[in-house]
Homo-oligomer: A and B are copies of this chain.
């Protein structure tokens, strides 16, 4: 594990600054929390709870502020599944989402961007360009004998 210790996080600070974000105590703490370990899907509430558990003192409002700033900066991706169910995805690489509607489970599935052949053929207005593509595959248990 890299040296993201007690008083560490110098690299995080640099990265934040490069994104035009002042490395405040709260932003550094959340950035470390969110970029450490496996990729995850977290609700704002999840992030708040985890932060508090980790001993980070910060307000709920601040969690929202920072999550949105991180999303705008490309550190996170926002995934809206249903109204009132927003996930922040720590995986910003090319992937699609598998949603099991029965359980509400969201799963990443890596894809080769080149396979999105279709997107190169979209006819857009001349002054428009593709900023991002979200693909959600809704899966269900096969019907039949239970």
Contacts and interface: CB of A to CB of B under 8 A. Distances in A.
Contacts of A138: 130-134
A86 B84 CA distance: 10
B130 A133 contact: no
Contact of A128 (B80, B133, B136, B141): B141
A7 interface: no
Given A115-B117, A118-B115, A134 B131 contact: no
A137 B128 contact: no
A124 interface: yes
A81 interface: yes
Given A83-B84, A129-B142, A137 B119 contact: yes
Contacts of A142: 127-129
Interface of A: 78, 80-86, 98, 100-101, 109, 111, 115-119, 122, 124, 127-142
13 contacts: A78-B82, A80-B82, A80-B83, A109-B122, A127-B142, A128-B139, A129-B140, A130-B138, A131-B139, A132-B137, A132-B138, A133-B137, A133-B138
